[in-house]
Structure 1
Amino acid sequence: MTDDDNPIRLSRRKVLGGLGGVGLASAGAGLGTTAYFSDEESFTDNSLTAGELDLKLDYKSTYAGGPGRLDEIDEMYPDFDVEEIEDGVYLTGEVPGAGDYPGDWSGAVQDWDLCDPEHNLINGDEIPVFNLEDVKPGDSGEVTISLHICDNASWVWMGGELTENAQNGTTEPENETLSEEFETIPDHGQLADAVDVTMWYDENCNNVYEPGGEGEPPCVQLVLDASGSMSGSRNDEAIEGAKELADRILSEAPAGSRVGVTFFSGDGYDSGANTVQTLTDDLSAVQGAIDTLPADGGSTAIGEGIAAGQAELANCGPDEDPVMVVLTDGRNNEGQDPASAATAAKNAGTEIFALGVGGAQTQTLNEIASDPDDAHVFGSTTNQAINQAFSQIAETIVGETVIFEGSLAETMAALEDGIPLDGNRANEAREPFAGGMTQCLGFEWEVPADVGNEIQTDSVMFDIDLYAEQSRHNENPTNPYNETVTGNGTATPNGTATPNGTATPNGTATPNGNNTS
């Protein structure tokens, strides 16, 4: 990439420079065109370009660069008013912006149907992301990209390229450090090897990587809408998604986890809702109960379902975390008020996730869910995406999945070969991304505080691409980055991209930029 290309300097920092150094990083998202429908969105060159399939990307980027730098960092972004959102943490980019939605970014990208053209979001517009100078050891940054597949379910790959790893000359302390390691000072910089990168599926779009394996075992009650409007493919997808959620919790959450099932519809149940499976660690019993979801009720008693689910969660032990997952496709029209029932459950210590589909009301979902709404409300505008919405909740409860982690150099090497992304992390087989829902990817970089002088004045530029290709009639797609057939096999997290080649992370970061003379 030439200097004239002026890459976007996006996410994950512009890269670092030691004392007084200048660094850049660019990230892009690209989709190419084949005989199948495809679409390209690219952060490269500060623009996103769209093709025929219609993939839309939105983003939020932050930079943890130390307190007292608001005016300095704001000057780097002439088209965006930088905000200090936490002490020393700066919002450096956001679409949709705060003025576009009566809430925050993560709420907007999850509540809105961003495929609706009236929102006029990123679909070929130029956007600035990262353009940072004088990044120091200990600094970090993150960009969360929300992607929306409109209409056609699609396979998605993540690609990228390291376009610059420049030495930019050497200072006296840098030269002294490099002389200890190299006989001749290298022309290339050491920055790409020093920066640590983590990429993950950010299930709740909150700009934070949340690993699993910590805390008490969850005690989860699934509260499922059994009204007549849930019939047909909607019911099939709900059953499949709920069963996969139960499987994920009982197989991957801390030992001692349990799951139960409650149905509600107003018709055929005591007080409008019945618990059909008490809390248990028997997966077959839970999945068998879910399989009986009737979808034949004449009304929707959401509040009664929440109350019945909470009555069962009262049986959780003192060392269990009570959690409720509520699925509905309509508005409450029988029984007690859902918000009141949910408030009572939350006051008793229950964490509530709300999943809405079809005619579900956003206001009701927000009232039901625990705070913050953006981390607990999930939705789907199509029946086909219900399964993947359940997957997002499962990942949030059990722990988010890492796509790759390692140095920036290793990350870009893996992305250059293309990493196949998985639309449903709740099962082993790779699935295409369903249309009609939002999924988020996180990309975080950090300059370790103990990095030494070898990276002073170095700069890095890189691109990150996302490529989408229709999945219908395309069960064995070809990886656009290395021309191998990826198919719908297992997409292994944490750096291993299968079946189109293995990219093994290293994670070792060489010391960085103390200025000693």
Structure 2
Amino acid sequence: MNPDTNDTIGLSRRTLLAGLGAVGVASAGAGLGTTAYFNDTESFEGNTLTAGELDLKLDYRATYAGGPGRIDEINGWYPDFEVEEEEDGVYLIGEVPNIDEGEWPDIVQERDFCAPDVGLINGDQIPVFTLDDVKPGDCGEVTISLHICDNPSWVWMNGELTANDENTVSEPEAGADGEGNALGDDSDGPISGEGELADAIDVTVWYDENCNNILDADAEEAGDSVCVQLVIDTSGSMGGSRIANTKSGAKQLAETILDANPDNQVGVTRFNNGASTPQQLTDDLDDVEAAIDGLSASGGTNAQAGVDAGQAELENCPHDNRVMVVFGDGDINTDGSAAKVAGTEIFAIGVGGASFSDLEDLASDPADEHVFFAIDDGAIEQIFGQVAETITVGEEVIFEGSLAGAMAALSDGIALDGNRSVEGRQPYEGGLTQCIGFEWCLPAEVGNEVQTDSVAFDLGFYAEQSRHNDAPDVSFNGTAPTSNSTANVSQ
């Protein structure tokens, strides 16, 4: 120790040694017996911090409407997949995972795709469409199923037009209206300039709420009115966060229904060991929300009693359109046949231990448009939102225009909304399958100007955590996203 240090701390060497000696004497004294002083010890031991996971996984189902009698030709373009002709002239050209035990629209909603070894697209880069000899009138569609594993996330869809080639110009093409490249001396040689195919192909992108590869039209025509009876499981297994999330989702659905048309009505039925209807059909949102807030979890599960009580209330509906939304997390011991015979449309929502096959039995046909399933409780609100959108406005279109226009929009990134039934963009919750539909069609009237033209394009999705990230700022360079969001990071 140098003199400067001694001066700084205000202790001489003598004083310091005297202090150490005093400590030694006190320690020796303590060993002679047990202390009588009051004492207490508290500690925080075994502390751990483990980073969470954010993993976006995809699966898809793709079809090509390319005309009948082409199974061998199309199968040759997909050496790693056994192409099937599902209906006359419509071919299944891709499905991941390849489902053996049931229909893809059902399985993608039932299965926990965040489980390991399921075989989803996870870091892979594959083409969906590899089609030759496309002609006017042909169409293709892919429904992509998104799975957010662990952390709720903002999601963007992105893409890029990577080629738009003229290739060669045939004699019919050279004389066609809209053809931008004249026939040169060498009609089989390469042609400078872009082709017309990307501008000619029509593209529609939409939220495919029920993952059925089809853009479903508006649920009700403008001016139509509907009565919706919520039939909610309040058995003991619905306790804790599950019943809280269910209340939030049910109130959100009721608000969406009542806002869609001033003549719409909503009622509330609950079931556990038996069933009751705390709120008859009404157009008063406050009354509906009060009834939902009063729900509590206890007892067993008697879904049959709930459906019967819900249908009894729907008999009082003044409109022709009657809908029942049944939510449960356990055994659904009814097929709802009496309600269906009476003309009621039934949507079945399951969470946790609910049996998917029971939900299918209960739901109206086709089941893939009326059954919704959440793996995690955190996704309950969003699944109610999916049903609300399906009942009121059908499936929302994200983009409609040419393939060239779609790729231009996607090159900037299209921000996707995890819950379309509430105001403002919402992140995607984990444990819930949500699907995006992408369809292209080459119109029959397009003409000769697209002969021999070809296009190539990429599609992708980007996910970023939503926690501490209320206003994400993400830019895209082609399909490579870059986040410059500062989020909530401490400075």
TM-score for the superposition, normalised by structure 1: 0.77
1:70-85 alignment runs, 5 A limit: 70-85=71-86
Secondary structure of the structure 2 residue equivalent to 1:159: strand
8 Å contact kept, 1:156–1:432: yes
1:195 maps to 201
Deviation at 1:108, TM superposition (A): 0.8
- 1:457 equivalent to 2:452? Answer yes
C-alpha spacing 1:179/1:79, structure 2 compared with 1 (3 Å): closer
1:509 maps to none
- 2:271 alignment partner AA: F
2:363 maps to 369
8 Å contact kept, 2:109–2:374: no
1:48-447 alignment runs, 5 A limit: 53-99=54-100, 101=101, 103-125=102-124, 127-177=126-176, 187-212=193-218, 214-215=220-221, 216-252=224-260, 256-266=263-273, 272-295=274-297, 297-317=298-318, 319-331=319-331, 337-339=333-335, 342-398=336-392, 399-447=394-442
Secondary structure of the structure 1 residue equivalent to 2:305: helix
Deviation at 1:213, TM superposition (A): 5.9
Deviation at 1:372, TM superposition (A): 2.7
- 2:313 alignment partner AA: E
Deviation at 1:127, TM superposition (A): 4.7
Tell me how many residue pairs correspond in the alignment.
423
8 Å contact kept, 1:417–1:481: yes
Secondary structure of the structure 2 residue equivalent to 1:250: helix
Deviation at 1:480, TM superposition (A): 3.7
Deviation at 1:217, TM superposition (A): 2.9
User: 2-side partners of 1:183 and 1:191: how far apart?
Assistant: 16
User: 1-side partners of 2:179 and 2:411: how far apart?
Assistant: 31
C-alpha spacing 1:487/1:90, structure 2 compared with 1 (3 Å): farther
C-alpha spacing 1:233/1:90, structure 2 compared with 1 (3 Å): same
User: 1-side partners of 2:119 and 2:422: how far apart?
Assistant: 34
% identical aligned pairs: 59
Secondary structure of the structure 2 residue equivalent to 1:354: strand
Deviation at 1:371, TM superposition (A): 2.4
Moved more, 121-130 or 165-174: 121-130
Secondary structure of the structure 2 residue equivalent to 1:406: strand
Secondary structure of the structure 2 residue equivalent to 1:338: coil
User: 1-side partners of 2:227 and 2:96: how far apart?
Assistant: 36
Deviation at 1:59, TM superposition (A): 0.4
C-alpha spacing 1:385/1:127, structure 2 compared with 1 (3 Å): same
Residue deviations 1:342-369, cap 9 Å, x none?
1211122211111111222223222222
User: 2-side partners of 1:135 and 1:120: how far apart?
Assistant: 30
2:7 maps to none
C-alpha spacing 1:381/1:487, structure 2 compared with 1 (3 Å): farther
C-alpha spacing 1:201/1:487, structure 2 compared with 1 (3 Å): farther
- 1:89 alignment partner AA: V
Deviation at 1:218, TM superposition (A): 2.6
8 Å contact kept, 1:420–1:486: no
8 Å contact kept, 2:97–2:119: no
8 Å contact kept, 2:178–2:449: no
Secondary structure of the structure 1 residue equivalent to 2:62: strand
8 Å contact kept, 1:161–1:413: yes
User: 2-side partners of 1:386 and 1:485: how far apart?
Assistant: 31
Deviation at 1:178, TM superposition (A): 5.2
8 Å contact kept, 2:160–2:408: yes
TM-score for the superposition, normalised by structure 2: 0.81
Secondary structure of the structure 2 residue equivalent to 1:142: strand
User: 2-side partners of 1:328 and 1:487: how far apart?
Assistant: 40
User: 2-side partners of 1:487 and 1:88: how far apart?
Assistant: 51
Secondary structure of the structure 2 residue equivalent to 1:349: coil
- 1:442 alignment partner AA: G
Moved more, 60-69 or 348-357: 348-357
Structure 1: runs of 5+ lacking an equivalent: 1-36, 39-51, 267-271, 489-517
C-alpha spacing 1:180/1:473, structure 2 compared with 1 (3 Å): closer
Secondary structure of the structure 2 residue equivalent to 1:157: strand
C-alpha spacing 1:429/1:275, structure 2 compared with 1 (3 Å): same
8 Å contact kept, 2:347–2:370: yes
C-alpha spacing 1:327/1:123, structure 2 compared with 1 (3 Å): same
Deviation at 1:279, TM superposition (A): 1.7
User: 1-side partners of 2:292 and 2:163: how far apart?
Assistant: 53
Deviation at 1:183, TM superposition (A): 8.7
Deviation at 1:175, TM superposition (A): 1.2
Secondary structure of the structure 1 residue equivalent to 2:106: helix
Deviation at 1:81, TM superposition (A): 1.1
Deviation at 1:124, TM superposition (A): 3.7
Larger Rg: 2
Moved more, 178-187 or 240-249: 178-187
User: 1-side partners of 2:212 and 2:231: how far apart?
Assistant: 25
User: 2-side partners of 1:179 and 1:360: how far apart?
Assistant: 57
RMSD of aligned Cα (Å): 2.4
Deviation at 1:396, TM superposition (A): 1.7
